[in-house]
Chains A and B, each alone.
Chain A
Amino acid sequence: MSKHTLDVTGQLCPIPVIRTQNQAKKLAPGDILEVLCTDPGAINDIPAWCRINGHTVASSETKEDGNLIVITLTIGE
């Protein structure tokens, strides 16, 4: 199991979802992917993408400045 970070700050959906999807394809089941983003739409879209594709959202957090969003997911089978 390894941990990876994907920075998609400044990108608007669906780009954060596409980049997450493409990164997830390179990872192994159980790997952790931390996605850094700023588009509030990603709060809904990345978890929705995870649900339909068999990945799990471990946490979703908006940082104190109100702009940075960190979504951590575990890659599924």
Chain B
Amino acid sequence: MTKQAKAVALISGGLDSMLAVRVMQEQGIHVEGINFFTGFCVEGHTHAIRKQDQKKQKRNNALWVAEQLGIKLHIIDVIDEYKDVLINPKHGYGANLNPCLDCKTFMVQKALEWVKENDFDFIITGEVVGQRPMSQRKDTMPVVARESGAGGLLLRPLSGKNLPATIPEQEGWIERDKLYDFSGRSRKPQMALAKQFGFDDYAQPAGGCCFLTDESYSKKLVDLWQVQGHKDYEFDDVMLLKVGRHIRPRPNFKLIIGREEGENRFMEGYKKRFPYLYCKSHPGPLVLADGELNQDDIELAARITARFGKGRNAAEVVVHFVTPDGAETPYSVAPLSSDDFPQEWYI
């Protein structure tokens, strides 16, 4: 080895990137982590909006992994830049609205910029050949290296032996023989290596770490784009798609109905952006109304609001409609019955 090289690792908070870093540390490489926040990341805290999840330990897995590894972690907000990746993915979407190949390419490209700005030498990821159907295939992993501009500066330590030699290997910064040859969807090799390294606590995200792989979330985003008439979004849109029941009873408006106290509290923060409804006569959810509502729409929204509250079986309940400027109007309505509530209204 000719020098102590410096690598930046893409840290998701999962096991693979954790192992990739430790493999490099074992070879004497100075590693720091980088974590990109796209707005769609599945974070424990996003789930923690819901009160029922608050008993679970709240931690940011990327920070936690960095601490276990003894490395610095740089968290970078890429919300705005990520829009183009999601809206115009060159390689298309996966099963839902997940642009995995473009996403990985984008992240490696951003990591390469960081490497140049901070005088580091190369990039590592926890990718494994054949692990994921879109971005981690033998034929697509070179695409990420090429299109990101990283080329031979991108090293995947867990599958390094299955891939062409990279610059860190050619330059003698690391030894190829000490890389791994993991491939396929089995997690057993990673779990065995975790045991060898003494990692007994690590996140095991099911279905990836991104809301865009989620069918329900993707449907809500498609609905948003259809109503807008074009593919675009603001950060608040992204957040609100994560909470509540989304119901579109008519094309011109949608209701977001809090499912429990934590969501209601989170949605309180949007009262100055959206009109909202709540049941005055009985306990019930906070309901945000997104769209232009006429009087008939407001009455229907009030009946739906009543349906999701404790007064759902009452003959009549009082629901208040409140505009963003605070003007409050009471409506006495009958809660909407099951027969009058088509399942197709759920987005």
Contact = CB atoms under 8 A, between A and B. Distances in A.
Interface of A is mostly: helix
Residue of A17, A39, A44, A52 with most partner-chain B CB within 10 A: A52
Interface in B80-102: none
Contact of A52 (B48, B58, B72, B77): B72
Interface in B11-61: 35, 37, 41, 43-46, 48-49, 54, 58-60
Contacts of A49: 63, 73, 75
Given A18-B77, A41-B44, A49-B73, A12 B67 contact: no
B73 A52 contact: yes
Interface residues of B, number: 28
A52 B35 CA distance: 14
Contacts of B67: 48, 51-52
19 contacts: A12-B43, A12-B239, A14-B37, A14-B45, A14-B60, A17-B63, A18-B75, A21-B74, A40-B45, A40-B58, A41-B45, A41-B48, A45-B59, A48-B67, A49-B75, A52-B67, A52-B71, A52-B73, A53-B72
A29 interface: no
A13 B54 contact: no
Given A44-B58, A48-B59, A51-B67, A39 B45 contact: yes
Contacts of B41: 14
B174 interface: no
Contact of A40 (B37, B48, B63, B72): B48
A73 B72 CA distance: 17
